[in-house]
Structure 1
């Protein structure tokens, strides 16, 4: 497929779409929620609007396109998917800066992701295959994660939400652990082997792909740390429930 050198700017369109969804969630869908949970719920809704479509689009961009190498020129379709995700992360970053400015972990995650996607999309115009695979690995758990997050926020007030939270916790943690703890590191290893061979240096500057590798490795490690803490918390919750029943 033709590579993208110039096109109609689609990023503002996607950004406007996610802004509309966020405002619709905040002032419409979750208007009866407490001020404490409305921003988080609205963030979850735009995440849901991004996650599954991003997985489908990125998969199509990889499966149907001939450019699948780590150093291949970006196609129009691949750049469109990158713009779609850049718009989402910009919108969600704005959410965190306004409502959770002290959530340094998520802000850093979004800034790092934006750096990788933006440099691939607008600076080097090559190597979209790797970010798109990472996008699939990052967003394939989106539906489970956001449903679990919403249930967690509501579990203290709604019995159904508490049941859903308990039902989802174990399968979500297992799914997330496999994707982020096994599939992710294996793919990052393949990236490293290719980039360190020097085969991409003529189209992707060394400082760019080294930055990508550092960011992705840090993201994988933080994801493993995050899910590990949740496993510990789940174990404590289940142990506490068992002890209470035995009393």
Structure 2
């Protein structure tokens, strides 16, 4: 890990954000016009969004974890390392691209647009305003994206389960473990880390490098995001058990009819 930091510190300063954004834009364009060209028009934007989410999510987990572990002075108010700044730019580029996707195709989806704007605010202030606190933000990034692979595969399967049998099987097989992992991460690990984050900042230990208005806004944004995530997964569990009960009822009725 020391080798990574030494190498990054020796590089001339450059901002990789435009390059990352160009990569996401290219991936989205290829997905929309080539990979999913035969899909019905209403599904192509969502599927293309899943592609860039796949390109961001799991790599971001590994990159953020490496950036955290490579920082010997990691703490809630420690200075951002060059590696951490690159990971922040990597995520900023993704959320900018996905925000553009929503503004073009789903301009009335105010929940996701608001989510992306709030997330960008957190990343941008950490990266370009206070230059501290990347440890906390990257841990939250790991917790948010560790379910990304499952969620994107689940989303794609859900989109085609009505007309593709294989997609329906993937959806049915993946739903319980995905819901379980999501529930643990967003319902327990996330709130616990936010509590630790809030307790540290409330102590005033970070006030000299992270203004109160910044860390308070971070905590508020993360709290709201986790609350929405918990409501979302609760609705998924309700739908899951409702569908399961309906299937059991149909099977019982069919069995009685045969008898």
> How many angstroms apart in 2 are the aligned matches of 1:61 and 1:200?
20
User: SS of the residue aligned with 2:37?
Assistant: coil
Aligned counterpart, 1:109: 115
Aligned counterpart, 1:162: 168
Aligned residues: 246
Aligned counterpart, 1:90: 96
Aligned counterpart, 1:12: 18
Match status 1:178 vs 2:178: no
CA contact (8 A) 1:188 1:216 kept: yes
> How many angstroms apart in 2 are the aligned matches of 1:243 and 1:102?
37
Once the two structures are superposed, residues 185-223 of structure 1 have per-residue CA deviations (whole angstroms, 9 ceiling, x without a partner) of 000000011000000000000000000010000011110
Aligned counterpart, 2:193: 187
Bigger Rg over Cα: 2
Q: Which runs of 5+ in 2 are unaligned?
A: 254-259
Match status 1:48 vs 2:59: no
- Give the alignment partner of residue 39 of structure 2, picking from 26, 33, 38: 33
* TM-score (structure 1 length as normaliser): 0.98
Aligned counterpart, 2:243: 237
* TM-score (structure 2 length as normaliser): 0.93
> How many angstroms apart in 1 are the aligned matches of 2:145 and 2:73?
22
**Quick check: 61-70 or 27-36, which moved more?**
61-70
Find runs of 4+ consecutive structure 1 residues off by over 4 angstroms: 1-4
Match status 1:135 vs 2:141: yes
Once the two structures are superposed, residues 51-108 of structure 1 have per-residue CA deviations (whole angstroms, 9 ceiling, x without a partner) of 0110000000011221310000000000000000000000000001111111111111
Please tell me the root mean square deviation across aligned C-alpha atoms, in Å: 1.2
Matches of residues 205-244 of structure 1 in structure 2 within 5 Å? 205-244=211-250
> Following TM superposition, by how much is the alpha carbon of 1:7 offset from its aligned partner in structure 2, in angstroms?
2.2
User: SS of the residue aligned with 2:122?
Assistant: helix
Once the two structures are superposed, residues 215-247 of structure 1 have per-residue CA deviations (whole angstroms, 9 ceiling, x without a partner) of 000011110000001111111111110100011
